[in-house]
Amino acid sequence: MGSASFKQIAGGLAIAVLLVAVHLMPGRGNQALRHDHAREWSYLKVPHSDPTPLESRLGEIASLVAGRPVQVRCEDFPIGTGQEPGGVVQFKGSTPADYARIRPDYCTALMQFVRAPASARFKSVVAAEVLTHESFHLQGVKTEAVAECYAMQSVSRVAHALGASLRQGRTMAMLTYEYVYPRMPPQYRSPDCRPGGSLDRHPGGDWPA
């Protein structure tokens, strides 16, 4: 799709929607992140590598959403059972780990977005939503549909923290709501995720931004 502007993105959404559907679904050529059930919770709870500058930046933003100090790592895992197509947060009961793992290609999209927010690709929209979704898991929201709905309503905030203008952030939120959310797997969607629904975090305000 190249480095299209947001206006160009809006004009090429038919192609973008097809691409994002592929990226959101696990497959042989685009493997989902994996849980590692062979490790004890004390190991799974924390990362075991020093953060890169990008990971530090993403961790700071995730901490704002989670409401506590958390971290992000850009990792992929070939062992275990696939759980989420874009990122994963381990849980022990209702307790989340202290870090999220984001698929490397989404981290690349986020890095490109940080460097040039005004020249964002559509995948940047999806990557920002993935980061936001995993941040709500880090907050303690375990249900996928709830985390997804909350994330969609907070994409604009995360995009702004990544360097987007307020207008760009609102545009990204609307793209998420109109083109990404309807194509998510059923477990990521809820009939209560709507204006005035029980998952509306700001009833009466702009939706989803």
CB atoms within 10 A of CB 156: 25
Residue 169 lies in a domain: yes
Query: CA-to-CA distance for 172 and 127, rounded, in angstroms?
Result: 11
pTM for the structure as a whole: 0.82
Residue 209 lies in a domain: no
Question: What tokens were used for 106?
Answer: 């989404």
Residue 206 lies in a domain: no
Residuewise pLDDT in 10s, the chain (209 residues): 334 444 544 444 433 443 444 344 433 233 444 455 557 899 989 999 999 999 999 999 999 999 999 999 999 754 433 445 689 999 999 999 999 999 999 999 999 999 999 887 889 999 999 999 999 999 999 999 999 999 999 999 999 999 999 999 999 999 999 999 999 989 999 999 999 999 999 998 888 87
DSSP assignment of 133-183: HHHHHHHT---HHHHHHHHHHHHHHHHHHHT--HHHHHHHHHHIIIIIGGG
Between 104-115 and 144-162, two packed helices, what is the crossing angle to 10 degrees?
30
Residue 38 lies in a domain: yes
Cα separations (Å) of 178 from 71, 173, 182, 207?
30, 9, 7, 11
The domain tally of the chain equals: 1
Enter the DSSP assignment of 52.
Answer: P
| Res 209: pLDDT | 73
Residue 136 lies in a domain: yes
| Res 36: pLDDT | 53
Query: CA-to-CA distance for 16 and 165, rounded, in angstroms?
Result: 22
Residue 30 lies in a domain: yes
| Res 27: pLDDT | 34
Domain span including residue 184: 6-188
Residue 195 lies in a domain: no
| Res 99: pLDDT | 97
| Res 39: pLDDT | 72
CA neighbor of 16 nearest in space, from 86, 116, 121: 121
| Res 76: pLDDT | 76
Residue 91 lies in a domain: yes
| Res 38: pLDDT | 55
